[in-house]
């Protein structure tokens, strides 16, 4: 069965996001405003206790039945695939998508929970094929998460993914009529997204650990800088070819980690678009959670921040 991962239900009181990370559980509550304000950002380590026990502890401390809760999947929880939009009536889309997806998964497609995300095209370019992203996760994983939250009496109504969370952050800084590239850094790699007019046009992960540049020998450091510059330029060239109606304004790198100064200098000198770093405190009100001023904490909570920006007035 094809279900909707992304709820369309209208919410009005801001989102509380739960994210299961390898070493603990992030809980962040954001309320709308100009700028949006973080009410709290808490991290619960996973030590000897298993996840359901920690979730029970979180709910006892925070009384999550008072919040509109979403769950942010981690990178290894799902797969995102780019496919040509099947030329079928909408009511036949789920069958067509599953047929196309069957050779892209390492498990049977009938055991997958699936949702789709359309990539808008320029209506003046009638010859271009419409494309879409398909998000798939094992039914077993989704059922397990639902069982954990239900057991802890946590009312999770939405499941989200980092690509859309990052798009939400990009939408706060995208200049009118231009596109923007956003590169987020973490300890395991990088996520690059291209957004334009509030839509996600491209997403790719770079298996490059830019947060560890300062610890590397100069030769290895240069190799990594060359590699990331090449991968970024290839992505920008792809956007120019496939979506030439998008004019990229700049590349934005977040958070501003200490190692980023050398990276930014290199990218500024080697890319054909401007590159700048982004401190998320310029977009959000962290006055109630001053610990988020630290780049390390921004790195931990950045996807929760983006997921909490979720706009229920539009489709995912």
Q: Is 161 helix (H, G, I), strand (E, B) or coil?
A: coil
User: How many whole angstroms separate alpha carbon 35 and alpha carbon 283?
Assistant: 6
**What are 217-256's pLDDT values in tens digits?**
888 889 989 999 999 999 999 999 999 999 999 999 999 8
Q: Give the Cα separation of 56 and 153 in Å (integer).
A: 8
Q: Which of 10-24, 28-42, 263-277 has the lowest mean pLDDT?
A: 10-24
Q: Rounded mean pLDDT of 282-309?
A: 97
Residues 106-146: tens digit of each pLDDT: 999 999 999 999 998 876 665 568 899 999 999 999 999 99
User: How does DSSP assign 31-87, residue by residue?
Assistant: E-SSS-EEEEEEEEE-SSS-HHHHHHHHHHHH-GGGSEEEEEPPGGG-EEEEEEPPS
Q: How far apart are CA 40 and CA 302, in angstroms?
A: 13
Kindly report the CA angle at 311 between 176 and 36, in degrees rounded to 5?
80
Which pLDDT value is given to residue 273? 95
* pLDDT confidence tier of residue 258, bands split at 50, 70 and 90: confident
What are the Cα distances from residue 308, in Å, to 122, 194, 233, 251, 303? Answer: 29, 20, 30, 23, 8
User: pLDDT category, 314, cuts 50, 70, 90?
Assistant: low
pLDDT at 262: 84
Rg (the chain; Cα; Å): 20
State the pLDDT at residue 209.
79
pLDDT at 134: 95
Would you state the pLDDT for residue 210? 79
Average pLDDT over residues 65-77: 96
d(CA 140, CA 108): 12
On the CB side of 147, CA atoms within 13 Å amount to 6
Please give the pLDDT value at position 188.
Answer: 77
| pLDDT tens for each residue of 126-137 | 556 889 999 999
pLDDT at 11: 40
Confidence (pLDDT) at 181: 98
Is residue 193 within 8 A of residue 182, CB to CB? The reply is yes
Rounded Cα–Cα distance for residues 144 and 129 (Å): 37
pLDDT at 124: 65
pLDDT value for 315? 45
Contact 15, 29 (CB under 8 A): yes
Instruction: Report strand pairing: 24-31 vs 37-45.
Output: antiparallel
Average pLDDT rounded to a whole number, residues 192-199:
96
Q: Say how far apart CA 153 and CA 124 lie, in whole Å.
A: 50
């Amino acid at each position: 069965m094809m279900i909707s991962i992304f709820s369309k239900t209208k919410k009005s009181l801001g989102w509380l996001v739960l994210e299961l990370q390898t070493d603990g559980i992030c809980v962040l509550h954001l309320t709308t405003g100009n700028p949006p304000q973080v009410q709290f950002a808490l991290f619960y380590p996973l030590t000897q206790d298993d996840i359901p026990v920690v979730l029970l502890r979180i709910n006892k401390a925070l009384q999550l039945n008072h919040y509109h809760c979403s769950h942010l999947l981690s990178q290894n929880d799902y797969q995102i695939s780019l496919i040509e939009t099947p030329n079928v009536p909408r009511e036949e889309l789920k069958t067509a998508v599953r047929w196309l997806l069957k050779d892209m998964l390492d498990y049977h497609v009938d055991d997958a929970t699936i949702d789709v995300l359309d990539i808008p095209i320029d209506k003046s370019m009638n010859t271009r094929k419409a494309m879409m992203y398909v998000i798939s996760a094992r039914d077993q994983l989704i059922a397990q998460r639902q069982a954990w939250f239900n057991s802890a009496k946590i009312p999770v109504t939405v499941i989200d993914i980092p690509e859309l969370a990052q798009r939400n952050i990009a939408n706060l800084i995208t200049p009118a009529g231009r596109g923007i590239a956003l590169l987020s850094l973490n300890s395991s790699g990088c996520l690059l997204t291209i957004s334009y007019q509030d839509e996600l046009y491209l997403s790719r992960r770079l298996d490059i650990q830019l947060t560890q540049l300062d610890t590397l020998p100069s030769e290895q450091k240069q190799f990594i800088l060359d590699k990331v510059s090449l991968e970024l330029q290839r992505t920008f060239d792809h956007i120019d070819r496939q979506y030439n109606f998008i004019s990229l304004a700049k590349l934005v790198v977040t958070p501003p980690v200490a190692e980023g100064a050398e990276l930014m200098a290199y990218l500024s000198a080697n890319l054909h678009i401007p590159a700048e770093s982004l401190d998320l405190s310029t977009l959000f009100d962290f006055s109630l959670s001053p610990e988020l001023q630290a780049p390390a904490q921004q790195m931990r909570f950045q996807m929760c921040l983006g997921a909490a920006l979720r706009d229920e007035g539009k489709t995912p």
